[in-house]
Amino acid sequence: MKTEQSSTSTPQRGQFETVYTNDKTVSCSGHNPNSALGHPRVFLKLKEGKAVCPYCSKTFIFQEQSDNS
């Protein structure tokens, strides 16, 4: 899973984390290394290649993993 974050050390209002994944189902618990607080773990199915956490607005985007063998 590849994670893309904003260039600032702490997210500002309107800036949310984007995670690229090759899984069709993901989980989010609101884990933030800058905070001890999170939210209840939720499982999200990526529909049309995308899912957004209803608690923290973290966005998960489906991206096929390429084999570089």
> What's the confidence (pLDDT) of residue 16?
83
- The DSSP secondary structure of 21-52, one letter per residue, reads ES-SEEEE---BTTBS-----EEEE-BTTEEE
CATH code given to domain 2-6+16-62: 2.60.260.40
**Tens-binned pLDDT, residue by residue, of the chain (69 aa):** 655 543 334 445 557 899 999 999 999 998 776 667 789 999 999 999 999 999 999 999 999 887 665
- In the chain, where are the structural domains located? 2-6+16-62
Question: How far is Cα of residue 48 from the mean position of the Cα atoms in its chain?
Answer: 16
CB proximity list for 22: less than 8 A, separation 6 or greater: 1, 62, 63, 64, 65
Q: Has this prediction a pTM greater than 0.85?
A: no
> What's the confidence (pLDDT) of residue 55?
93
> What's the confidence (pLDDT) of residue 31?
78
Give the tokens for residue 63: 């991206």
